[in-house]
Amino acid sequence: MDLQLTNKIIIVTGGAKGIGEGIVKLLAGEGAIPVIVGRSEQDNLQVVKSIEVNGGKAAQVVAELTKPEECERAVKEILKRFGRIEGLVNNAGVNDSVGLESGNYQGFMASLHKNVVHYYLMAHFALPALKESKGVILNITSKTADTGQGNTSGYAAANGGRNALTREWAVELLKYGIRVNAIVVAECWTPLYENWLNTLPDPQANLKEIESKIPLGNRMTTVEEIANMAAFLLSERSSHTTGQLVYVDGGYVHLDRALANA
């Protein structure tokens, strides 16, 4: 299926690692020109070069997304270089363990800036260009907004905000023909997830326990599976889909846990 993404300029925040990197590489493989926005030029360029070596196109802008002025500058740089934006993937964030007992006001507010405020800012600054292109916004969110996790109030609140903004923007931007959707991620295998797992006393036993609770196949979701859905939602092949929270999670959030071991 031709996703009709050739030469489309699509911003991907946090596109140098994990899920963001997977989305960037898949978009480039579909002929799009993904633009990574992230704080590490070295990491950004490493992904860009790996795409170019394989004949694809990509670009990068260095920005600290917790700073509003950096979000604005990043969008301006992209427009100066390409003159247009057809898509925005809000992906950057971190599960930072700012809990109710363990956290404080400063930590909680910082977590919101790391995880949801820049979603709003990037969409706000990119909006004039997205109006012109009748573009697409895709928010990457987490199951923590639905399930809770414990000791991560900031991250959970941010993901609740990401989900709500997805629906809110879908309504507000209907008149411009801009579609807004979200992918909700549960247990997805990334380097960051692996690093977290390795902090536990018995990583392999814990991984087996987690996988046993994922109904479809008793396995983790892959980055490629998230990226495949992202590409579809960014494409005209999903032209009548907006305001949706799409769970790419093997049934983890909604299916009866009894099914996991059936």
Least confident of 34-38, 163-167, 253-257: 253-257
In a domain, 51, yes or no: yes
Three-class SS of residue 77?
Answer: helix
For the cut 80, the answer to whether the pLDDT of residue 262 exceeds it is no
Residue 129 near residue 176 (C-beta atoms within 8 A): no
When pLDDT is averaged across residues 178-188 and rounded to a whole number, the result is: 98
Q: How many domains does the chain have?
A: 1
In a domain, 140, yes or no: yes
In a domain, 70, yes or no: yes
In a domain, 173, yes or no: yes
In a domain, 2, yes or no: no
In a domain, 199, yes or no: no
Query: What CATH number did the domain enclosing 118 receive?
Result: 3.40.50.720
The pTM of this model reads: 0.97
Q: Which domain holds residue 29?
A: 9-186+222-250
In a domain, 23, yes or no: yes
Q: Tell me what percent of the residues of the chain surpass a pLDDT of 70.
A: 99
Distances (CA, A) of 29 to 5, 22, 56, 171, 241: 10, 11, 7, 31, 23
Beta strands in 28-186 (DSSP E): 33-38, 59-62, 87-90, 136-142, 179-185
Rounded Cα–Cα distance for residues 179 and 13 (Å)? 18
Least confident of 75-84, 102-111, 193-202: 193-202
Q: Hey, which residues are catalytic here?
A: 155
In a domain, 128, yes or no: yes
